């Protein structure tokens, strides 16, 4: 499983990545964390990145692309990874496409966490206060002034990726204003719905077998989702209402993909009984 978490500073990329790596046994690849480690270690990359990060700008594309390319090759990334904070510019996204192609790896999805800008400052201030309370060093960029600059960088350089991945039918949007566990639940539902969480054996099985096993095909509604909406599974009305609300946030691109595939399935299904009837009639 390989996917990107896209969203402005404080949208919850790191929080969600940490919850998901545990569930799926994959790794979190956070360029922000890697760069902070490089700054702390005083490496040449760290020395180059330090002032840029502290000012809320973006580190040059070549640097982060090299870091990610090397990191993806590490043995622990073989089972899959979550890209947290990468790509952040269109050239980074193009470079990622290229390197995944070279390594013969597939990107399952890009999950955008959408959060109101007014909530971002509260979150970043809260994180800084909690870090301070633990006696740890607060991130140099976790101040209201630098957050404003990070947001400006996001709008100018990263937001175009929403269009980039939407055009490539990879984008799925989640309401990041929900409580942390509900955001995780929605991401899990999306990953199931697109088939990213299927066991390998089921992935190799024929569509008929997959359907018999109750596994949703990529782009179709997952059975679990249907159950939740009807009050099945976890069973509570709250869960059903939450499922209904969060489903609405799935991007238009994903909906179009589902509708396209569903229409194709309906067309194919419509052809099958017609053939059988003709044969039966012919026998009679
Ligand atoms: P990076 O470290 O990636 O920072 P960021 O994108 O600015 O995002 P944050 O880490 O601040 O937020 P987050 O979305 O991870 O939110 P979190 O889960 O912590 O990058 C730092 C810098 O490195 C960049 O500015 C740039 O200079 C450089 N850099 C990195 N990658 C680069 C790249 N690819 N190219 C160029 N430069 C690059 O949550 C925040 C807080 O909110 C937490 O306290 C959390 O508990 C809380 N919270 C989370 N979710 C919720 C929720 N649903 N409800 C309530 N509270 C929540
Ligand atoms: Mg983060």
**pLDDT tens-digit map of 150-168:** 999 999 999 999 999 999 9
Q: Average model confidence (pLDDT) for the chain?
A: 80
Q: Is the pLDDT of residue 239 over 50?
A: no
Q: Which residue has the higher pLDDT, 239 or 97?
A: 97
Ligand 1 centre distance from Cα of residue 102 (Å): 29
Q: How many structural domains is the chain composed of?
A: 1
Q: Which of 113-117, 185-189, 263-267 is predicted least confidently?
A: 263-267
Top-confidence residue, 252 or 2: 2
How far apart CA 182 and CA 188 sit, in angstroms, is: 10
Residue 179 lies in a domain: yes
pLDDT-derived band at 197, boundaries 50, 70, 90:
confident
Q: Is the pLDDT of residue 130 over 80?
A: yes
Domain-embedded: residue 9: yes
Ligand 1: centre distance to CA 3 (Å): 16
Q: What is the pLDDT of residue 123?
A: 96
Please compute, for residue 196, the number of CA atoms within 13 A of its CA located in the half-sphere on the CB side: 25
Ligand 1 pocket test, pick from 8, 9, 82, 182 with the greatest ligand atom count within 8 Å of Cβ, gives: 9
**Cα–Cα separations (whole angstroms), residue 233 to 81, 223, 243, 248:** 28, 10, 12, 20
Residue 157, domain member (yes or no): yes
pLDDT at 43: 97
- On whether the CB atoms of residues 75 and 136 are closer than 8 A, the answer is no
Task: Say if 259 falls within a structural domain.
Answer: no
In a domain, 21, yes or no: yes
**What tokens were used for 257?**
């993909």
Q: Tokens at residue 220, please? A: 């179709």
Q: Which residues contact 101 (CB under 8 A, 6 or more apart)?
A: none
pLDDT digits (tens, 9 = 90+) for 241-258: 443 444 444 444 445 455
pLDDT grade, residue 203 (50/70/90)? very low
- pLDDT (tens digit per residue) in 18-55: 999 989 999 999 999 999 999 999 999 999 999 999 99
The residue-averaged pLDDT of 125-131 equals 94
Residue 158 belongs to a domain: yes
Banded model confidence at residue 279, pLDDT cuts 50, 70, 90? very low
* Catalytic residue list: 13, 88, 127, 139, 150
Inside any domain, residue 262: no
Q: Is residue 119 part of a domain?
A: yes
pLDDT at 171: 97
Q: Quote the pTM value.
A: 0.77
Lookup: tokens for 82:
């979550």
Q: Which atom of ligand 1 is nearest to the CA of 88?
A: 34
Query: Angle 217-218-221 (CA atoms, 0-180°, nearest 5)?
Result: 70
Judge whether residue 261 has pLDDT over 90. Answer: no
- pLDDT at 135 exceeding the cut of 50: yes
For residue 6, give the CATH number of its domain: 3.40.50.300
pLDDT, tens only, 81-121: 999 999 999 999 999 999 999 999 999 999 999 999 999 99
**Which of 4, 31, 140, 151 is the pocket-test mutation for ligand 1 (most atoms within 8 Å of CB)?**
31
Question: Helices marked H in the chain — which ranges?
Answer: 13-24, 31-41, 44-54, 61-72, 90-102, 117-133, 144-153, 160-167, 180-193, 200-204, 207-212, 223-230, 237-247, 252-283
Tell me if 6 sits within 8 A of 161, measured CB to CB.
yes
Q: Which domain holds residue 185?
A: 2-26+79-204
Low-confidence winner among 55-64, 157-166, 258-267 (lowest mean pLDDT):
258-267
Say if residue 240's pLDDT is above 90.
Answer: no
Would you state the pLDDT for residue 198? 64
């Amino acid at each position: 499983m390989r996917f990107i978490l896209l969203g402005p500073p404080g949208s919850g990329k790191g929080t969600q990545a940490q919850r998901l790596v545990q569930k799926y046994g994959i790794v979190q690849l956070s360029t922000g964390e890697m760069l902070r480690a490089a700054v702390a270690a005083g490496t040449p990359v760290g020395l180059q990145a330090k002032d840029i990060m502290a000012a809320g700008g973006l580190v040059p594309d070549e640097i982060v692309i090299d870091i990610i390319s090397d990191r993806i090759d590490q043995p622990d990334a073989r089972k899959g990874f979550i890209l947290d904070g990468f790509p952040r510019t269109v050239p980074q996204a193009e470079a990622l496409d290229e390197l995944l192609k070279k390594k013969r790896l597939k990107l399952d999805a890009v999950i955008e966490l959408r959060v109101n800008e007014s909530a971002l400052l509260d979150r970043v201030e809260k994180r800084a206060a909690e870090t301070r309370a633990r006696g740890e060093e607060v991130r140099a960029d976790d101040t209201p002034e630098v957050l404003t600059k990070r947001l400006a960088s996001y709008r100018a350089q990263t937001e175009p990726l929403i269009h980039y991945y939407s055009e490539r039918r990879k984008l799925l949007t989640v309401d990041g204003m929900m409580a942390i566990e509900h955001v995780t639940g929605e991401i899990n539902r999306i990953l199931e719905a697109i088939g990213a969480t299927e066991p390998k054996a089921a992935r190799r099985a024929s569509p008929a077998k997959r359907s018999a096993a109750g596994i949703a095909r990529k782009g179709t509604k997952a059975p679990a989702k249907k159950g939740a909406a009807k009050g099945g599974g976890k069973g509570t009305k709250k869960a059903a209402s939450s499922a209904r609300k969060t489903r609405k946030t799935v991007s238009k691109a994903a909906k179009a993909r589902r509708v396209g595939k569903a229409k194709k399935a309906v067309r194919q299904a419509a052809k099958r009984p017609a053939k059988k009837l003709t044969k039966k009639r012919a026998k009679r």
